[in-house]
Chains A and B, each alone.
Chain A
Amino acid sequence: DAGITQSPRHKVTETGTPVTLRCHQTENHRYMYWYRQDPGHGLRLIHYSYGVKDTDKGEVSDGYSVSRSKTEDFLLTLESATSSQTSVYFCAISGSPGGRGTSDYEQYFGPGTRLTVT
């Protein structure tokens, strides 16, 4: 499982509240990603990180922010949750363990977080 954990695994929250999802990896991979998965849309990239404090937007970044203050943790924050953000969120990692190389493109995914915004 490439040492990836996500927390929480399930969350129900109310519209307008802030929510933070955590992705934690234990193998020092350089790249980390946040996706959402919805029926009819597949996996869509929200934000990604190519190093500590280095992040960039994906295709569906509106309403989301991220932070990566250390290699092992990548946080996804919903500033003010809306019902359209009800989804399953997956974290992924890529890049050689230890950051020794940048040629490993395969991404390995965490178990996912099911978020429901009521």
Chain B
Amino acid sequence: GESVGLHLPTLSVQEGDNSIINCAYSNSASDYFIWYKQESGKGPQFIIDIRSNMDKRQGQRVTVLLNKTVKHLSLQIAATQPGDSAVYFCAEKETSYGKLTFGQGTILTVHP
């Protein structure tokens, strides 16, 4: 079936740098995407979402970019902090009511 995947399983950055986490999706019918952050021992935490009729959406220190032409999603974190260290998942919604398909995750490590 369709699946969501990630280009990089791990990403290490220095504190203060900008981070970019990438995600490729394969279902062109997906119309909604979410990024989640998961810290060790905790449940996934909603970060930001974007609908397929948008190319970009900004939150606090985070920006999500959607390129439907190449089916690519990215999460940009500005001025990365040690507290941003976590696993980041992208997810896509393929059906009308909201069932999500999750990617494997990228481990972000921020070095002080």
Given contacts A105-B49, A109-B44, A112-B43, contact A42 B93 (CB under 8 A): no
Nearest chain B CB to A100 CB, angstrom units: 15
Contact of A42 among B46, B99, B104 (CB under 8 A): B104
Known contacts A44-B102, A50-B97, then 14 further A-B pairs from the complex at CB < 8 Å, ordered by chain A residue? A31-B98, A40-B104, A42-B89, A42-B102, A42-B104, A43-B91, A90-B43, A92-B43, A106-B46, A108-B46, A109-B44, A110-B43, A112-B41, A112-B42
Residues of B participating in the A interface, judged by any CB pair closer than 8 Å: 1, 32, 34, 36, 41-46, 49, 89, 91, 93, 97-100, 102-105
Taking the complex as formed, is A26 at the interface, i.e. its CB lies under 8 A from any CB of chain B? no
Please state if A109 and B45 are interface contacts (CB–CB under 8 Å).
yes
Which A residues lie within 8 Å of B98 (CB)? 31, 94-95, 105, 107
Interface residues on chain A, number (Cβ under 8 Å): 24
Please state if B97 and A31 are interface contacts (CB–CB under 8 Å).
yes
Please state if A43 and B97 are interface contacts (CB–CB under 8 Å).
no
Residues of A participating in the B interface, judged by any CB pair closer than 8 Å: 31, 40-45, 48, 50, 58-59, 90, 92, 94-95, 102, 105-112
Given contacts A90-B43, A110-B43, A111-B43, contact A43 B99 (CB under 8 A): no
Which A residues lie within 8 Å of B32 (CB)? 105
Contact of B99 among A40, A41, A45, A111 (CB under 8 A): A45
Nearest chain B CB to A48 CB, angstrom units: 7
In the complex, A45 Cα to B93 Cα: how many Å? Answer: 13
Most chain A beta-carbon neighbours within 10 Å: one of B34, B98, B104: B98
In the complex, A68 Cα to B29 Cα: how many Å? Answer: 30
Nearest chain A CB to B100 CB, angstrom units: 6
In the complex, A94 Cα to B103 Cα: how many Å? Answer: 19
Nearest chain B CB to A32 CB, angstrom units: 11
